[in-house]
Amino acid sequence: MPAKCLSLTIRSKLGHSLRTLFLCWIILASPYLLAGQDCQVQWQGIAGDITQFKSVTREIITCDSIQALRRLSAGVQQLHQKGYLLASYQLDLSRNDTLVINVYLGEQFTWAKLNTTDIPGQVLNRGGFRQKDYLHYPFNNKEIRRLFKKMVIHSENNGFPFASIYLDSVSINDKAISAKLVYHEGPKITYDSLQVKGPVKIKRSWLATYLGVTVGKPFSQRDISAIRSKINSLGFAQLDAEPKLTFQNKEATLRLELAPKRASRIDGIIGFLPNEEEEGRLLITGQFDLSLRNLFNSGKGLDIRWQSLRPRSQLLDIQYDHPRLFHSTLDFHGSFNLLREDTTFITRQAEINFSYRPSEHSLSLFSQFRSSNLLSASAFEDATELPEISDFSVDYYGIRYDYRGLNDPILPTSGTSAFIDAAVGSKRIQRNADLPAELYQGLDLNSVQYTLSAGLKSYRRVNRYFILYHQLRAAKIINDRLFLNDLYRVGGLLSLRGFNENFFFASDYVLSNFEVQFHFQPGAYFFAFYDQSYLYYDVSQNQFEDYPLGIGVGLNLPVASGLVSLAYGLGRSQDQPLSLSLSKFHFGYVAKF
């Protein structure tokens, strides 16, 4: 082809393409162009009808037909819910500079009567039915749907999963609607058996009680919907497939396929810290954790934690969990804690806790006993007032609410958990025979002490690799006469990194832990953290207030039989500068089995 002809062909195709693009732009942009033009919105219809329509639609001031349709449709739905069942509208789009809206409201329909004589009263009450709402009140189809939904949900959670409900004998007389509510409960279904497949060693009778699907119990859809979250909460098992449910002879059979998860662990940590008592030398600290899960194949758990993180100081913590105590719906938790603080004092604490957990939510009642005693009173022989460390005991009784919405109880990557608890206790200050008797004169030895605490933990996935983790905790002790050995302990790997374990005392504290985690394979991630806190106490005319913080980086790395943890942190407080010479380095290895 000659060059001249080739040039004309290219120009022709280029011009056609430009015209096509211009026409497409005009079509797509026309609503926005019209929106910017001078426009008149003209309402047509009876004045009262127009007023009602304007009251349920936001002001329409443009010729954008899509926006007008959206607002008018939402308005008509509201009018239908007010009993104007014939309300409608039409748009006239024949002129670009005028948007004509024709509206029709129609009559308002009201209830004359809703007959419910054949429906059990309990079902009506659970559905929120009130007879007066259906006598001369506007007909509201949204309320009817809500009533139907509540009645069906109540039925399927009380043994009748095939219940149905509908309106019958509907009649309209002079804008007044009469109808009969017809309810068929269907056959009553009870649980027949629980079948478990997979290599997980677990007693079926205990698992059936834990899941709420024991033989002979009425079927509940709520129990079935909660199975996944309850199995995940166990920690040592996971669903390998969706639960399968079959019905026969008015009985339901549940089949679960479970796969094991390594949840029991042994955790050993060695720490290398600057020795503050002997300059230039390192202090080697240690910690040992033992966590056993699914003891006796019945979901029980035992945790033992021992620490020796400072010279002549030790911590022992033992916790025991017994879910579904005696095949009931109650869970039991017991714990014992012993803290020896150098040669100053020793504190013992024991707790028993009974909780009810139908799903992710739980409510607990607990009783706690706490006592603390001086190990040596020689330093206070010449004291003129009761020292800030003294002998006492407290009996607490409290209540706790807990929510667990994490996707995994051991290594979560998404979800939220929270708790709040409150306790009231009877505090008794005990006389120490090695202290002068006059120190206790005029002192109220018996008083009431309160504790409040709350916490929130959240994991948010940003993308495939990054996860944001944030934990917020706060607590407070209320009493007119507090001692140092009364107070909370803050600091260390599990609370405020960059400081020694249990470094701070506080009667009031707020603690924020924030991490940016980079996950490069399942369970393995680098992280950078920032811990910020507020600490306060006022003990024996000795007041303390500070805002210590910790920053650092770390690594969690799974290996064949466990997890290796590394953390490096710097801490700053009013008594400690942010210095590399005071940094904290921790190495840990968790062996799972």
pLDDT in tens, 512-537: 999 999 999 888 899 999 999 999 99
As its CATH architecture, domain 265-377+389-592 has: Beta Barrel (2.40)
Within the chain, all domains assigned CATH 3.10.20.310 are found at 110-184, 190-260
pLDDT at site 131: 87
pLDDT at site 425: 95
Q: How far apart are CA 353 and CA 147, in angstroms?
A: 39
Mean pLDDT of the chain: 85
pLDDT at site 165: 92
What is the phi/psi pair of residue 276, to 5°?
-75, -20
pLDDT at site 443: 85
As its CATH architecture, domain 190-260 has: Roll (3.10)
Look up the pTM and report it.
Answer: 0.73
CATH topology (fold) of 32-108: Ubiquitin-like (UB roll) (3.10.20)
Question: Given pLDDT bands bounded at 50, 70 and 90, which one contains residue 281?
Answer: low
pLDDT at site 588: 63
The arithmetic mean of pLDDT across residues 188-213, rounded, is 92
Residue 168: pLDDT above 80?
Answer: yes
What contacts 11, CB < 8 A, 6 or more positions away?
none
Tens of pLDDT, residues 60-89: 766 677 888 888 888 888 898 889 999 999
Helix residue ranges, H only, 135-220: 141-156, 204-211
In the numeric block, the tokens 């002490």 are attached to: 449
The arithmetic mean of pLDDT across residues 386-399, rounded, is 93
Q: Is 263 helix (H, G, I), strand (E, B) or coil?
A: coil
Which of the pair, 525 or 275, is modelled with greater confidence? 525
Provide the 10 A C-beta neighbour count for residue 52: 21
As its CATH architecture, domain 110-184 has: Roll (3.10)
Q: Are the C-beta atoms of 99 and 41 separated by less than 8 Å?
A: yes
Tens of pLDDT, residues 424-476: 999 999 998 888 888 888 888 999 999 999 999 999 999 999 999 999 999 99
Q: Cα torsion for 46, 51, 56, 57, to the nearest 10°? A: 80
pLDDT at site 419: 97
Residue 23: pLDDT above 50?
Answer: no
pLDDT at site 342: 80
Lowest-pLDDT range of 226-240, 280-294, 312-326, 349-363: 280-294
**Amino acid symbol at 350:** A
Residue 9: pLDDT above 50?
Answer: no
Tens of pLDDT, residues 403-413: 988 888 777 88
Q: Are the C-beta atoms of 499 and 548 separated by less than 8 Å?
A: yes
Q: Are the C-beta atoms of 208 and 192 separated by less than 8 Å?
A: no
